[in-house]
Amino acid sequence: MAVGVQLTPRQSESREEYETFTRVSIAPYADTWDRAERLPEEFLSDFAARGYLGSTVPKEYGGTELDPITFGLFNEELAQGCSSVRSLVTVHGMVSYAIARWGTEQQKGHWLPQLAQGAAIGAFALTEPGAGSDVKEIKTTAQRTEGGFVLNGEKRWITFGQRADVYLLFARLDGQPTAFLVERDTLGLEVSPVVGILGTRASLLAELNLVDCLVPRNALLSRPGFGLNTVAASALELGRYSVAWGCVGIAQACLDSSLDYADRRETFGTLLRNRQLVQRMVADMAAGAAAARLLCQQAGWLRQAGDPRSIQATWLAKYFASVTAFRSATDAVQVHGAHGCGSEYPVQRYLRDAKVMEIIEGSTEIQQTTIAESAFHTRLIGRTNGRADAPTTMGG
Ligand SMILES: Cc1cc2nc3c(=O)[nH]c(=O)nc-3n(C[C@H](O)[C@H](O)[C@H](O)COP(=O)(O)OP(=O)(O)OC[C@H]3O[C@@H](n4cnc5c(N)ncnc54)[C@H](O)[C@@H]3O)c2cc1C
């Protein structure tokens, strides 16, 4: 990792652990998982046994409750190996976080220990056929009934939806967006796999169809009407933060692959590394990864400080990091030439995964308009109050 704000010894140790785990247990298999369009159960068991599914679960419920910077480092390292693994951490983390923050004692006591141990996998079900960026257009309905609610509607593109045991699902109750925890084996819930997706192919995407799906009263998370602005907004903010760091991982992997390749490949009697046009691509990748990482760190320490500017800082980080990851991936394929298009090198996977990063958790265009509106409104976006805001270490 490039020099940034200084990590605590504990954070450095954790980063090393994640780096080793990714190098040994993820990177060598990621292309196979991508082709198979799934993560193997043995991998998921190992991942869970290490406590890696509890990263956003409070310690009192058996989680590891990583501080924001350590959580970011975790996402960066995982994404250097496989963005589908990182996407599991993102959506499972969002569901765990939402329950910890908005759940009743009963919901927390029931779900959080299972989510922390990986005995249950969580998925986030917001998008619908007619509602993506414009989430207020969701049409799924919830109607009160004796003992609970009846849900009807459709959800699309649900990451780890094929594998999930519980869905944080959004529906309209009395016309108001409301969050529900829907268990996988609920009668009336049909889960269908989405196959052939462009990127994060091993992330077991699913469509959900809800036909008179009866859920109990305690499936309601938070209050009616608090679904989008409160529950989904805070979960998506965490998701955006996780994805931003994941994009740093993709950008770094593109740089590393390109350095290795340009150091070995000769054309016209000299190594690619000596070609200035190749050096331009390498320089842009290096600068992009370093700058994206710094933006993520800024978002992280504002998040850690509980500073509301972390929201804007996360928009900036996600926007810049995802655009950087995609540009780095196109350059990495270019540096590799035909080898970059084949299955022997992972750069074509990075390119497919990076394009997905520009669509999820707020597309590039939505980030651009949000950032621009905020810039016009406050004139302060991206600024901090200088050194006083930047701790020399980042907690943990
Ligand atoms: C691999 C993958 C995994 C996903 N996982 C999940 C998941 O786990 N849970 C979940 O709920 N959803 C998930 N999604 C869905 C994702 O959140 C949506 O795709 C995303 O919100 C964008 O919505 P959309 O695809 O409907 O695009 P649209 O909103 O229809 O946008 C289409 C295009 O128009 C642009 N656009 C839209 N509005 C504007 C505007 N106002 N100004 C300028 N441009 C605009 C967009 O940027 C985009 O380029 C996933 C999607 C993918 C591809």
Q: Give the residue extent of every domain in the chain.
A: 9-121, 123-223, 228-389
Residue nearest to atom 38 of ligand 1 (CA): 133
Say if ligand 1 is within 6 A of residue 124 CB.
yes
pLDDT of residue 384: 61
Q: Residue 179 has what DSSP assignment? A: E
- Same topology for domains 9-121 and 123-223, yes or no? no
Provide the 3-class DSSP secondary structure of residue 77.
helix
Number of other CB atoms surrounding residue 376 within 10 Å: 9
Could you confirm whether domain 9-121 is CATH 2.60.410.10?
Answer: no
pLDDT of residue 377: 87
Query: Catalytic amino acids?
Result: 361
- Best substitution site from 157, 166, 194 to test ligand 1's pocket, by max atoms within 8 Å of Cβ? 157
CA quadruple 105, 108, 111, 112: dihedral positive or negative?
negative
- Tens digits of per-residue pLDDT, 323-356? 999 999 999 999 999 999 999 999 999 999 999 9
Say if ligand 1 is within 6 A of residue 366 CB.
yes
* Closest-lying ligand 1 atom to the alpha carbon of residue 197: 1
> CA-CA distance, 148 to 214, in Å (whole number)?
7
Residue nearest to atom 14 of ligand 1 (CA): 157
pLDDT of residue 382: 67
212 phi-psi bin (left φ>0, alpha ψ -120 to 50, beta other) = left
pLDDT of residue 379: 75
Say if ligand 1 is within 6 A of residue 365 CB.
yes
Name every residue whose Cβ is closer than 8 Å to that of residue 360 and which is 6 or more positions away in sequence: 243
Q: Residue 384 has what DSSP assignment? A: -
CATH of 228-389, one of 3.40.1260.10, 1.10.645.10, 1.20.140.10, 1.10.3720.10: 1.20.140.10
CATH superfamily to which 123-223 belongs: Butyryl-CoA Dehydrogenase, subunit A, domain 2 (2.40.110.10)
Give pLDDT < 70 ranges for the chain: 1-4, 380, 382-396
- Best substitution site from 124, 138, 359 to test ligand 1's pocket, by max atoms within 8 Å of Cβ? 359
